[in-house]
Amino acid sequence: SFDLTQPPSVSVSPGQTARITCSGNVLPKQYAYWYQQKPGQSPVLVIYKDDERPSNIPERFSGSSSGTIVTLTITGVQAEDEADYFCQSADPTGFWVFGGGTKLTVL
């Protein structure tokens, strides 16, 4: 298997830009996915295949990839964006792994 590493926490003020990173050796070869999870709720997909955004997700959410690091960027953070964020990827055999999660705090 493999590991995906995320910072435990990120804090930003409303209107600022939040960047959450996820690093792993598999990421140059496999797509990354990002999920938002609010307390007591199921995860919600916010970015798929590194940088694609589902149609129901606000445009302020974007994803990027560079080598072994993928980044979730939230431009113009709003209070409602406070949540846990998890990255995800897979090895070619179909075995999935999640990062440890990042708690985004909106100050």
Partner 1 sequence: EVQLVESGGGLVQPGGSLRLSCEVSGLTFSRFWMSWVRQAPGKGLEWVANMNGDGSETHYVDSVKGRFTISRDNANNSLYLQMSNLRPEDTGVYYCAREGGGFDWGQGTPVTVSS
Residues forming the site for partner 1 (CB under 8 A)? 1, 33, 35, 37, 42-45, 48-49, 52, 54, 84, 86, 88, 93-101
Closest approach of partner 1 to the CB of residue 67, in Å? 22
Q: How far apart are CA 85 and CA 103, in angstroms?
A: 6
Q: Which is nearer to partner 1, 13 or 41 (CB)?
A: 41
Cβ atoms within 10 Å, residue 64 = 14
Q: Which is nearer to partner 1, 68 or 98 (CB)?
A: 98
Closest approach of partner 1 to the CB of residue 59, in Å? 18
Closest approach of partner 1 to the CB of residue 28, in Å? 19
Q: How far apart are CA 7 and CA 22, in angstroms?
A: 8
Using the Cα atoms of residue 51, residue 67, residue 76 and residue 46 in order, give the sign of their dihedral: positive
Q: Which is nearer to partner 1, 58 or 76 (CB)?
A: 58
Q: How far apart are CA 28 and CA 14, in angstroms?
A: 32
Quick one: tokens of 2? 């493999």
Q: Which is nearer to partner 1, 16 or 102 (CB)?
A: 102
Closest approach of partner 1 to the CB of residue 84, in Å? 8
Q: How far apart are CA 54 and CA 62, in angstroms?
A: 10
